[in-house]
Structure 1
Amino acid sequence: MAYDYDLFVIGAGSGGLASSKRAASYGAKVAIAENDLVGGTCVIRGCVPKKLMVYASHFSHYYKDALGYGWSEVEPSFDWKKLVDVVDKEVRRLSELHISFLEKAGVELIRGYAKFIDPHTLEVGDRKVTADKILIATGGHPVKPQIPGIEHSISSDDMFLLTEKPQRFAVWGGGYIGVEFASILKGLGSEVTQIIRRDWILRGFDQDIRSNIQDGMSKHGVNFLTNTTIEKIEKTDEGLKLILTGEHAEKPLIVDQLLCATGRKPNLGKLMLENAGVEMNQDAIAVTLDSQTSQPHIYAVGDCTDRVNLTPVAIAEGRAFADTEYGHLPQSISHENIATAVFSQPEAATIGMSEEQAKEKFGEAIKCYTARFRPLFHSLTGADEKVFMKLIVETNTDRVLGAHMVGKDSAELIQGIAIAVSMGATKKDFDRTMGIHPTSGEEFVTMR
C-alpha cells in the first residue's frame, strides 16, 4: 500500500522535533502535527521560560551580596509585567526558530490535533493522512486533585500567564515543579508557603539532597507546612482560603494565588488510541525498550510513555527511534544514570543512585563521602549559604554509583561529573584527578 508519509509524528515537542528531523535527514518523507506553539512543554511552558524566571529571581540576592564586596546599597524595583512579557517574547522567538528548523530539514508541519481513524490513518482537522510508521510524542499535562474549589487554583502552565505577581503565594506539592516555583516567587519578593504531604520535599531523591534543599529554602524564607494537605479551597474577599488537614489543620491559610503542583499525566485524551489498537499501561502508552507500542509500526517517546519525564530523555528516545528505523543504525537508550537538576534556591543536581537505592542493591558494601562548606563567593557576603556534595561508592569495585550536590552552579558541575559516573569511574579515578583551585568543583576530587 502507498502511504502519504513514511513517518507521521504527533506532537512537535522535544521528542517529536528530534525524531522528525533525524528521520528526514535519512531521506524519509515526514510530517508532524501540532496544535500549539512548536516546541512542546520545555520551550513553551516548562524548562526554558521557568529557567528565565529562575535567573530573574536570583537578582534580589545579588544586590545584597554585592554589599560585602564594596558596592553601595541600592533600592531596586521589580516589574513583573516586564518579566512576563520578555519571557513570552523569547518563547515565541524560539518557537519560530524550531519551525524554521523543521522547514530546513524538509519536515512538513501540519497544524491541528491528530487523532487515529485506524492504525495507519490519522485525521488532522478536516484532513486525513496515512503513514507507514507513526510516532506519538504528545508529552504530558498537569493534573489537579478533585477537591471542592480546585478551580480557583492554577497549574504550572498558568504561571507564565499571571498578569500580577501574587504577594501571598502557596504551592501544593513537593515535586521539583513546586519546589522551583516556590523558590522563584520567594526570590521575586512574594510571601511563599509550600504545602507537602510528607516530612520532606522531592520524594525519590537522595535524603541528604532533600534535607539540604528544604533547609536552604527555609533559610531563604519559604514556609513549609509538612505532613499537610488541602481539603477545600474557598474564594473570599480576603483571598483564597485553604482549608487544611494534617499537622497544620488548626488554621486556614489565606493566599492570593495557589499553584497546584501535585502531578502530571500523559497527554493522550484526544488521540483515540483505541482506533489504532495501541495498548496502555495505566495512564501511559505501553512501549518496549525500543519505544515500540503494541502495534509494530507505531512508536511512542517522551512523557506520554511515563518512563523518565525529562526533555533530554525524550530527545534521545526520538533520535534513537529515527536512527534505528531510518538510518539502519540500531540504537538503544539506557534510562539509568540520567543526570537531573532542581533549579531551586539553593540549586541541586544529581547523577546515579541515591544512598537509599545503593543500600537496597548492595547492602552494606557502600561508602559515602560528603563535604559541606561555605563557598568562597559567600566568604564576604555574610550570607548563610552552604554547598553540600556527596559521592556514593561501591566498596567491592570502588565504582562511583552516585554523585549529588546542593549549592550554586550544581547543574553545571554535575553535568561534567555525569560523564565520569556514566563511564564507570572509580573513587580512585576521582582521587587521581587534579582539582581546579579555588573552586567548589575541586571538592569532588578531594573527598577523603
Structure 2
Amino acid sequence: MGVREFDVFVIGTGTAGKIVATNCAAEGLKVAIADNREFGGTCANRGCDPKKVLFGLTEILDRAEKMKGKGITKMPEVSWEDLMAFKETFTSAIPAATENDLEELEIEMYHQSPIFLDENTLSVEGKTVKAKKIVIATGNKPMPLNIPGEEHALISDDFLELKELPDTMMFIGAGYIGMEFAHIAARMGVKVTVVEFAPRILTNFDEDMVAHLQKASEDLGINFIFNAEVFEVEKLRKNYRVKAKQAGKEIEVKAEMVFNTAGRVPSIEELDLEKGNVAFSKQGIEVNEHLQNTTNKSVYACGDVAASAGLPLTPLSSKEGQIVSANIINKNNPGKASYAPQPSVVFTLPNLASVGLSEEDAKKDYEIRVENKRVSDWFNAKRINEKVYAYKTIVDTKTGKILGAHLVGPEAAEVINLFAMAMAAEMDCEAVRNVIFGYPTWGNDIQGML
C-alpha cells in the first residue's frame, strides 16, 4: 500500500486539535486526525465537564448544610449511582458526535497514537503517512509516581467512572484535581485523606486565600498530611497502604482507594519526537510566538501540550487552535499568540479563583495597593450563611489599574471573570466602580473589593 499524503495531520482530538482539523478542512485542505483514546479529548470526556456535573450536586449539599435550622429541616438523600448516570448523559455521546463532525468534513481518522519517522513522516495504524504540516495537540496526562506499587493508584479518569464510593479514599497530591475530587468525595460521605509533598495545598495560588480554603477543607473532615514524600503503595486484603517519609520518619496511611493526583505532564512520550527533529521539554512541545516548533518548522503545537504562555485551560486551547489553523491557512501572514489575563479556578466549595499577578510578583515591577480582607459579613455571604468569603486585590497606584485578583468564596469562579474582563479592557478602579451592576449580586461585590 502506498504512502498516504496530507496537507495537515493533527495528533489529538480535544478542543485544540478538533479546531485545527475542522478549520483547515473547511478551507479545502486535505486533513487527517489521530487519537489513541476516544475522540473528543480530556475536557469533554474525562475532565472539566463531567467533573463539574458531579460538583453540581455537592453545591446543593453544601447549601443545604449551611441552611439547616434556617429553613432546611432535613438534608437531601443522595444517590451516587443516579449522579453518575446523569453524568453519562453529558459524556456518552461525545466520541461518536466528534467523529461524525470530522467525517462530514471528509477528515480521515486514525485511532492510534502516531510516531514520527522523520520531519514530515508518521507511522500510524501500521501505515506510513506524510504531511506538509503536523499539529501536536495531545494534551496532558497524569504524572507517573515512579514508585513501587504505583499501579495500585487510580487516576482522575477512574474517579469519574466509579460505580460506587468506598468508605475511605486517599489522594496523593493536593493540586487542582486532588482538591476538587477530595471535596466531592467528602461531601458524599467518604472519609478522605490527602497526602502532599509541599507544606500546603494548591501551591500555585495565593497563600492567604488558600489558607481559608484549607481550613474549610479541614472543617469538612478532610485529613491532610503535609511535607510527606510517598515512596510506596502496597496492596492489602481490603485496603491499600501508602508509605511516606515525613520529617525523617516513615509514616503509613491506609485507605480502600488511592488516587494519583500528583499533577499532569505533557502527553508526548509515545511520539518519538527525536526522529521528527521536534524540540520539547518538561513543559511540552517548544514553540515560537506563532506556536510553531522551534526546530521543525513543519510542526505546530497547541493546547495543554504546547510550552507556550497559555495556561493548561480549555479556553486557551481553543484560542491556540484558532491561531495554529490560521497560520497554516494563511502561511504568508502568520499570526502571533497573544494572551489576555487568564483566570484559574479550583472547583471546591468554597471556590478558589485567581487572575493576574500575585502580590509577590507585582511588587517587583509596580508600586501597588493591596486589599486583603475576609468579608463573610457582606450580604451575599450572610444570606446563605457562608462563613468563608475573602479577597485580595492588587492595584497599580500610578494608573489605578487592576494587576491581580484572588478570591475564595461560593461564587468566586464566576466573579473572577468580571475581574478578567476589567483587566482585559484595561479599566481602572474608578471605571469599574462607575459600572451599574445588578444588586444584590455577587458581581456587584467587586466594586467593594477595589
Compute the TM-score of the two structures, normalised by the length of structure 2: 0.91
Alignment partner of 1:324 is 2:327: yes
Counterpart of 1:233 in structure 2: which amino acid? V
Higher alpha-carbon deviation: 432-441 or 43-52: 432-441
The structural deviation recorded for 1:330 is 3.9
Counterpart of 1:156 in structure 2: which amino acid? S
**Compared with structure 1, are the counterparts of its residues 306 and 261 closer, same or farther at alpha carbon in structure 2 (3 Å cutoff)?**
farther
The structural deviation recorded for 1:370 is 3.6
The structural deviation recorded for 1:299 is 1.0
Provide the residue aligned with 1:417 in structure 2.
Answer: 419
Alignment partner of 1:358 is 2:362: yes
Provide the residue aligned with 1:427 in structure 2.
Answer: 429
Alignment partner of 1:368 is 2:370: yes
The structural deviation recorded for 1:336 is 5.9
CA contact (8 A) 1:173 1:262 kept: yes
CA contact (8 A) 1:21 1:102 kept: yes
* Distance of 1:3 and 1:419 partners within structure 2: 46
Alignment of 1:7-46 (within 5 A): 7-46=8-47
Provide the residue aligned with 1:339 in structure 2.
Answer: 343
Alignment of 1:62-73 (within 5 A): 62-65=63-66, 67-73=68-74
Provide the residue aligned with 1:256 in structure 2.
Answer: 256
- Of residues 432, 436, 440, the one that matches 1:438 is 440
- Per-residue CA deviation, residues 59-90 of structure 1 (Å, 9 max, x unaligned), is 3224334544534425x433323333442342
Counterpart of 1:27 in structure 2: which amino acid? G
* Distance of 1:3 and 1:242 partners within structure 2: 49
Provide the residue aligned with 2:164 in structure 1.
Answer: 164
**Compared with structure 1, are the counterparts of its residues 23 and 416 closer, same or farther at alpha carbon in structure 2 (3 Å cutoff)?**
farther
CA contact (8 A) 1:58 1:187 kept: no
Higher alpha-carbon deviation: 11-20 or 225-234: 225-234
The structural deviation recorded for 1:261 is 1.1
The SS at the match of 1:35 is coil
The SS at the match of 1:151 is helix
* Distance of 1:283 and 1:444 partners within structure 2: 34
Counterpart of 2:324 in structure 1: which amino acid? F
**Compared with structure 1, are the counterparts of its residues 379 and 445 closer, same or farther at alpha carbon in structure 2 (3 Å cutoff)?**
closer
* Distance of 1:100 and 1:65 partners within structure 2: 45
CA contact (8 A) 1:57 1:184 kept: yes
Alignment of 1:42-81 (within 5 A): 42-65=43-66, 67-74=68-75, 76-81=76-81
* Distance of 1:85 and 1:128 partners within structure 2: 41
- Per-residue CA deviation, residues 279-309 of structure 1 (Å, 9 max, x unaligned), is 2224622211211111111111122224432
- Of residues 389, 400, 410, the one that matches 1:408 is 410
Provide the residue aligned with 2:314 in structure 1.
Answer: 311
Compute the TM-score of the two structures, normalised by the length of structure 1: 0.91
- Per-residue CA deviation, residues 18-59 of structure 1 (Å, 9 max, x unaligned), is 111122233322221122211111112211111112113223
The SS at the match of 1:424 is coil
CA contact (8 A) 2:235 2:241 kept: yes
The SS at the match of 1:4 is strand
Alignment partner of 1:289 is 2:278: no
Q: Gaps spanning 5+ residues in structure 2: where?
A: none
- Per-residue CA deviation, residues 361-397 of structure 1 (Å, 9 max, x unaligned), is 33xx11112443236465355x453221222111122
* Distance of 2:350 and 2:283 partners within structure 1: 33
* Distance of 1:229 and 1:432 partners within structure 2: 50
The structural deviation recorded for 1:349 is 1.7
CA RMSD of aligned residues (A): 2.4
Q: Gaps spanning 5+ residues in structure 1: where?
A: none
Provide the residue aligned with 1:393 in structure 2.
Answer: 395
CA contact (8 A) 1:120 1:132 kept: yes
